[in-house]
């Protein structure tokens, strides 16, 4: 879990910044599109990292691979259809990360095909942009409050079950720490991540 390799930290910084900023921006953009002006009023409709990055959360991500960004605040009551809107906002962040992962994979293959310089540094940065975005999407889709996957699940569960499920949020930090301290999280994320990246490669190789 703990990795203080300075080279990996420097190479991974672009990928982490892109993953965090795009994720939160997508949440904000989706909430506004669903009818809630709150993210716009709070200045979150921007790709400026300053508006989305929590310095402590970013440092934690770089050092121990567990961190956070500033969550986008929105009011589902302003949505034209609050249940549909809440699901779309929740899916927007992971969806944006998967899109960035695909774009970065396509760019990587294209650079290789065109015979462009693929130094160790460029290779590492591109690879980590892909990995961080794919893994960030998968992690956020775990059905653990307050992650995005839990918001999707709460909106499709019957009312009484959704209420009981929401009570898990008081234990969410302990649950996430427990997952980080055991091989369980890796056993969930790594196979899904490999599948997603294999699908990227299959689609891109078909196109190219």
Among all residues, which ones are annotated catalytic?
Answer: 24
Which pair of tokens denotes residue 58?
């970013």
> Which of 107, 40, 116 is closest to 75 using CA atoms?
40
């Amino acid at each position: 879990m703990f990795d203080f390799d300075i080279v990996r930290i420097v190479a991974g910084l672009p990928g982490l910044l892109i993953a965090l900023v795009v994720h939160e921006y997508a949440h904000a953009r989706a909430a506004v599109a669903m009818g809630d002006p709150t993210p716009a009023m709070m200045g979150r409709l921007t790709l400026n990292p300053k508006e989305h990055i929590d310095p402590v959360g970013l440092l934690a991500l770089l050092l121990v691979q567990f961190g956070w960004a500033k969550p986008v605040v929105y009011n589902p009551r302003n949505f034209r259809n609050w249940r549909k809107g809440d699901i779309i906002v929740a899916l927007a962040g992971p969806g944006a990360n998967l899109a960035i992962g695909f774009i970065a994979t396509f760019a990587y293959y294209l650079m290789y095909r065109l015979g462009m310089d693929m130094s160790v540094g460029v290779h590492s940065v591109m690879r980590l942009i892909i990995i961080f975005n794919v893994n960030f999407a998968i992690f956020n889709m775990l059905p653990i409050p307050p992650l995005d996957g839990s918001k999707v699940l709460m909106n499709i569960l019957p009312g009484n079950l959704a209420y009981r499920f929401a009570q898990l949020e008081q234990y969410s930090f302990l649950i996430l720490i427990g997952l980080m301290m055991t091989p369980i999280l890796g056993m969930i994320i790594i196979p899904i991540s490999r599948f997603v990246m294999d699908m990227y490669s299959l689609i891109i190789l078909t196109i190219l």
